[in-house]
Structure 1
Amino acid sequence: LGREVGPSLGQSRGMFMGLFNAPHIVGEALKTAVFASALFREFGFEATPTFDEKRCDIIQALKLKNSETLIAFCQGMQKGAPIDSNVIPEPWDMPGYDSQVIMSAGAFTGGSSIELSSDAPLREPFAVWMQGSMNFDSGKVGVLLAAREIVRRGLV
């Protein structure tokens, strides 16, 4: 087939589908980040960037004041995941870090940064980094369940 098919290696459909869907999915991730920033600011937490600040990526950082709140956030976020919502994330000694780390991710693709996830080292400044969401509806559910878990535990 050679030059009749071109250098696609049978991947053209997937590549073009990714290029077609990428702007919409990134937009959904950005809406989720803006929503989280605004909601957690209402609870008195520091958000970087703020909901009304110009953004250059899909990552949202939230300073949650203590390790108990970090854990509650990640465990609540996991409850809103489309996959493995029954899993309860726990802090652990991750190689390369000088403190324990907690992560949440209920992703269709392991390690995906565009699907809703969060991670945080359990140390000052007690910041969690969340990113992604393939669609705003499921991202909003994850963020709301993270907030609910913090409220349920009396941490705000």
Structure 2
Amino acid sequence: MQKYPMTVEGENALQVELKELKTVQRPAVIKDIALAREHGDLKENAEYHAAREQQGFIEGRIQDIEGKLSTSQIIDVKTIPYTGKVFFGTTVTIINLDTDATVTYRIVGDDEADIKKSRISISSPIARALIGKEEGDVVVVRVPAGDVEYEIDNVEHI
């Protein structure tokens, strides 16, 4: 079975969500279903159907998280010696050589990626181009609009 990389923070976030689903949301929806059943005819009971639908979402998310955790390889970046190179878990500041725009990303696992938080997936084209490079290196990233050149300005091992 293939293992997928995940940071310690990503694992912790999934564990917290899983605990919330199992200990708070699942019992609450079971209670809602029981309460809706008391109202009589289930065929026309909107509360019952809504609660059952919510239960389906919760159970699906629980299975999804458990599956992700079972196939993940937790990588604690703090235990890896800093070499100055870009690798999983590092934070990289890059400069677009065409526009001089500067952007900072942290390279994380697929399930942790969130562009709003400046976290990109290890399997993204930018991350794949950056892996193994050092400060000052120029990388070319293939995007649908063509090739874009970036210079690595800073690599942080956090």
Regarding TM over 0.5, the answer is: no
Q: Normalising TM by the smaller chain, what interval?
A: 0.3 to 0.5
Q: Greater relative contact order: 1 or 2 (C-alpha under 8 angstroms, separation 6 or more)?
A: 1
Length-normalised TM-score, structure 1: 0.32
Higher strand fraction (1 or 2): 2
